[in-house]
Copies of this chain bind each other. A is one copy, B any other.
Amino acid sequence: MKKLLVELGDRSYPIYIGSDLLSQSELFIKHIKSKQVVVVTNETIAPLYLNAVLKNLQGYTVETVILPDGEQFKTLDFVTQIFDKLLASKFSRNATLIALGGGVIGDMGGFAAACYQRGIPFLQIPTTLLAQVDSSVGGKTGVNHPLGKNMIGAFYQPQCVIADADVLDTLDDRQLAAGLAEVIKYGLIRDAEFFEWLENNIGALLARDKQALAYAIEQSCINKAEIVGEDETETGVRATLNLGHTFGHAIETGAGYGKYLHGEAVAIGTCQAADLSRRKGWLNDEDVARIIALFKKAKLPIVPPEQIDSDRFLELMAVDKKNVDGQIRLILLQKIGMATLPVDVDQDLLEMTLKTYGRR
């Protein structure tokens, strides 16, 4: 087992990465300071891993909330189901919430923990590659609004993250690929060496080679923990983690939540960001070709949906957390391994990308 630390003063916490972690009761018990525990999970994960988690919680008063699976259920209404359960069970402010699932469950469970009685402790147990390498680390929690992705939420840090690589055995290929999109992102924004490693090892990752996956998860978490430790609430460098996300969120919202997996939308959005970075004169044709090729090899989509035309993209992108006074700002690439901070974008270059990249 590896243990990384997210360094945030009195909100610091460990990320445990390894095999067979779900059976290690001491990891759980160490981070639960109450008798009352609620486990929040979804209909896909519950039959697979809920019992394994509950085994660690003998002697506690345990409730479970099982939500439907999918981005389209990441709403205030479904978070309310968690509040309902906590209140019906008369759970106190020292109760602990365990979020057992992918990014959607982590975001919703974390947000419920942030808001219940103005904040209760919670544990992240990510069960998808995407959640293990990205969304479970760093304390971004929240839900979607019909007009914008992740628009309602809180910065709220967990007590720990338990990333058990074994659970990826049950992940379907599409979910695995979606996770790789965020892995590739770390290479692109700040780690050219890791990007090269990914180019050379993408086959092993898709074949679920344990060693390759463990390395990718660890490198991703190291990068994420460093960035979050520097900038918890995204006033600076943390925004670089949003490479491709403004395009990506527009795709998720525009296509209807749940149509694209988050990682799929980010893959397409990152290709668009690469195209725009080339138009800005930062990337060259070869860089862009390498980026697109790697997403393609990772079995990820690289072309935006036809139904979202340039005007619709602009409308959707006008709602984004990086915008200032309504002006669209994007993370772009200076080169492979180096992202910009949010930049105001020339409207005509952006439209050029939206109208031509991946369009027939």
Contact = CB atoms under 8 A, between A and B. Distances in A.
B94 A325 contact: yes
Interface in A109-133: 114-119
Contact of A114 (B61, B87, B154, B327): B154
B154 A318 contact: no
A116 B151 contact: yes
A48 interface: no
Interface residues of A, number: 42
Contacts of A119: 154-155, 233
A153 interface: yes
A80 B146 CA distance: 11
| Number of identical monomers bound together in the oligomeric complex | 2
A34 B154 contact: no
A158 to B, nearest CB: 16
A83 interface: yes
A147 B318 CA distance: 38
A151 B94 CA distance: 13
Interface in A253-312: none
A76 interface: yes
B147 A324 contact: no
B83 A323 contact: no
Contacts of A325: 34-36, 61, 92, 94-95
A323 B93 contact: yes
B321 A118 contact: yes
Given A76-B76, A80-B76, A151-B83, A326 B90 contact: yes
A330 B206 CA distance: 57
A210 interface: no
B323 A92 contact: yes
A29 to B, nearest CB: 15
Interface string A146-170: 0110011111000000000000000
A87 B150 CA distance: 12
A95 B325 CA distance: 7
Interface in A77-92: 80, 83-84, 87-88, 90-92
A62 interface: no
A145 interface: yes
Interface of A: 34-36, 61, 76, 80, 83-84, 87-88, 90-95, 114-119, 140, 142, 145, 147-148, 151-155, 233, 318-319, 321-327
Given A61-B325, A90-B323, A118-B321, 4 more contacts: A61-B326, A91-B326, A115-B152, A117-B321
